[in-house]
């Protein structure tokens, strides 16, 4: 397992229309890793405390160095915050 820092780009409420359960308390945290992951399509990301501090519903890589965390409840993270991410490929 490899540890990498990621910088939060955005933390915003998701549109409930985009959710299967229409939950209005769903948030999206978009972040960028400090380096590209060669096998990013298969990577599994894990966050250490204090990290996200919200119930994580889903994590998905969108590019070799970018990911989105879908949470229930608002995380206190804001743009520019750095979080540690453990990566398993």
Query: In this predicted model, what pLDDT tens digit does every residue of 44-69 receive, in sequence order?
Result: 999 876 678 888 989 999 999 999 99
pLDDT at 22: 83
Partnered with residue 87 across adjacent β-strands are 2, 45
To the question of domain 2-88 being in CATH 2.40.30, the answer is: yes
Q: By percentage, how much of the chain surpasses pLDDT 70?
A: 98
* DSSP 8-state secondary structure symbol assigned to residue 23: -
Using DSSP, state whether 41 is helix, strand or coil.
Answer: helix
Are 4 and 83 contacting, i.e. CB atoms less than 8 angstroms apart? no
pLDDT band at 12 (very low <50, low <70, confident <90, very high): very high
Q: Which of 32, 54, 58 is nearest to 44 (CA)?
A: 58
How many whole angstroms separate alpha carbon 11 and alpha carbon 83? 13
Query: What's the rounded mean pLDDT across residues 3-23?
Result: 90
pLDDT at 77: 94
């Amino acid at each position: 397992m490899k540890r990498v820092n990621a910088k939060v780009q955005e933390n915003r409420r998701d549109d409930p229309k985009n959710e299967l359960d229409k939950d209005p308390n769903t948030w999206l945290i978009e972040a960028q890793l400090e380096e590209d992951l060669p096998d990013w399509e298969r990577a599994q990301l894990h966050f250490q405390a204090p990290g996200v501090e919200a119930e994580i519903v889903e994590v998905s890589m969108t590019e070799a160095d970018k990911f989105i965390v879908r949470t229930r409840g608002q995380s206190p993270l804001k743009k520019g915050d750095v979080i540690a991410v453990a990566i398993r490929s």
